Amino acid sequence: MGTLNEMFGFEKDRLTVIKEWIPKRCSTEKDYENSLVKHLRKHLPKARITPQFAIGRTKADIVIDGKDIVEIKKDLKSTAVRDRLIGQLTQYKEWRGKVFVVIVGEKDPDILAEVRKFAEAVDSQSFDAFFGDRKIIIVEK
């Protein structure tokens, strides 16, 4: 017997599926992206999973159902990587769905704290905040 979601044909929520992902044999950000795309397609079979989705002048690593962005960042340990991520998140501010930031590899705790602070500032200004919901969700792997 499966879970209630499985019995009634409901899919798991996207955050749960992302958190359950266990990357294996990944060395580059592209490897992680391919692994996560495969995982999402397996565990969200009704969802449309689109890798490398163009948004303005940038490309989101993955978009789910044209609604939620998944941005993967490998080795968040330099200010250059932090600045690039914050630049991407700035472009995603007006995006109507959620933005899942998946941090893989090594990370500097101070730089991660700065990204979290930026995400909290965006969240506090978003429409979702009115309902106690977050726009940017950071997941560490």
For position 69, what pLDDT does the model report? 97
- The predicted structure's pLDDT at residue 129: 57
Residue 73 has pLDDT above 70, yes or no: yes
Average confidence score pLDDT of the chain: 90
User: Would you say residue 11 has pLDDT above 90?
Assistant: no
Residue 141 has pLDDT above 70, yes or no: yes
CB contact set of 49 (below 8 Å; sequence gap of 6+): 37, 40, 41, 62, 63, 64
**Three-state SS string across the chain, please?**
CCCHHHHCCCCCCHHHHHHHCCCCCCCCHHHHHHHHHHHHHHHCCCCCEEEEEEECCEEEEEEECCCEEEEEEEEECCHHHHHHHHHHHHHCCCCCCCEEEEEEEEECHHHHHHHHHHHHHHHHHCHHHHHCCCCEEEEEC
Over the stretch 102-140, which tens digit does the pLDDT of each residue have? 999 999 999 999 999 999 999 888 766 556 678 999 999
Which region among 12-21, 51-60, 128-137 has the lowest average model confidence (pLDDT)? 128-137
The pLDDT assigned to 133 comes to 79
Using 50, 70 and 90 to split pLDDT, how confident is the model at 1? Answer: very low
Share of the chain above pLDDT 70, in %: 87
Q: Give the pLDDT score at 12.
A: 81
Domain extents in the chain: 4-140
Residue 127's pLDDT is what?
Answer: 63
Residue 9 has pLDDT above 90, yes or no: no
CATH of region 4-140, choose from 3.40.1350, 2.30.30, 2.60.40, 3.30.70: 3.40.1350
